[in-house]
A = this chain, B = another copy of it.
């Protein structure tokens, strides 16, 4: 991916993810501009020196004019309207997104813009805060950025989207949409539910309990503080995969309760968890291994990228 082949980037939605992306791309000298529905956000972005507008048709006409890559960066409930506007005002532009589910977004795009070119994406970055005020050009630095990689994906389009992730400072993780959705159900959406319930049980006990709460509660419930409407959009958009991981979570907690009640032991649940955490740290706490031996566009490139992505390797392009 050479930088001089990079096209302008047009970002629809300047919240935490979209706003941070606008900042890092523009700070890096790239052509990048954005749209946000809220005048306050547009004013904040402009005051910070970024190119932002609240006029969606005008922004999309500009994108069509300079053949920009359009990034959908709104929550799921707002996507249909955005896609319809793209289909109307910038039908030829390559589309990507930064939404936390991929099958649902692919359906929305296919339905609202059947002739559109679309390669999905999902940067694994965030905080419990949201909105322009929480944006940070370093948000994606060293983060993983899933890019949809199907047998039918156009290699040039894939390289454009992967290039955005790389310019944002992220590593590219190639995956199929369904595999992504199962993965994020397990490592993001399910943790939101366990954090929420863990918080509720703790706070329901007493003010004394919250007074005594220390690191395990602070860290274990942090994401419960994310804005509820963002959590709902994210989790409900991945309901099928989440139901599976939630059911497994319940089964394992029931087994833990039975062992504790009948044998006074938490041996199995604690050992399983310790082994799982070690497996996570072995992947997450070391430099990622780059994908090797794949030229994007050559025969079988997408399947080979997915195969290496499944082994936790990353594309560094």
Contacts and interface: CB of A to CB of B under 8 A. Distances in A.
Interface of A: 124-127, 143-144, 146, 173, 175, 179-180, 182-188, 190-228, 231-232, 235-236, 239, 242-243, 245-250, 252-254, 256-257, 260-261, 264-267, 269-281, 283-284, 288, 309-314
B270 A211 contact: no
A250 B254 contact: yes
Given A195-B273, A207-B283, A215-B222, 20 more contacts: A186-B204, A187-B210, A188-B212, A188-B217, A190-B202, A194-B220, A197-B273, A199-B276, A203-B280, A217-B280, A219-B222, A219-B223, A224-B276, A225-B277, A228-B271, A231-B266, A232-B266, A236-B266, A246-B256, A247-B257
Majority SS of interface residues in chain A?
A: helix
Contacts of A208: 173, 175, 179-180, 183, 309-310, 312
Nearest to A314: B211
Contacts of A173: 208, 211-212
A226 B276 CA distance: 12
Contacts of A284: 210-211, 213, 218
A271 B227 CA distance: 9
A194 B196 contact: no
Question: Which among A190, A197, A264, A313 has the highest number of chain B CB atoms within 10 Å?
Answer: A197
Contacts of A195: 194, 216, 220, 273
B277 A221 contact: yes
Contacts of A313: 211
Contact of A280 (B182, B210, B243, B257): B210
A175 to B, nearest CB: 6
Of A126, A186, A218, A250, most buried by chain B (CB within 10 Å of CB) is A186
Nearest to A235: B266
24 contacts: A143-B214, A183-B212, A186-B202, A187-B212, A188-B214, A191-B221, A194-B253, A196-B273, A198-B249, A198-B273, A200-B272, A200-B273, A200-B275, A203-B276, A203-B279, A207-B283, A208-B309, A215-B223, A220-B220, A227-B274, A228-B271, A231-B270, A239-B260, A246-B257
Contacts of A272: 196-197, 199-200
Nearest to A124: B214
B249 A253 contact: yes
B236 A265 contact: yes
Contacts of A212: 124, 144, 146, 173, 180, 183-184, 187-188
A88 B215 CA distance: 37
A197 B124 contact: no
Given A208-B312, A274-B196, A253 B252 contact: no
Contacts of A270: 192, 196, 224, 228, 231-232, 235
Contacts of A126: 214-216
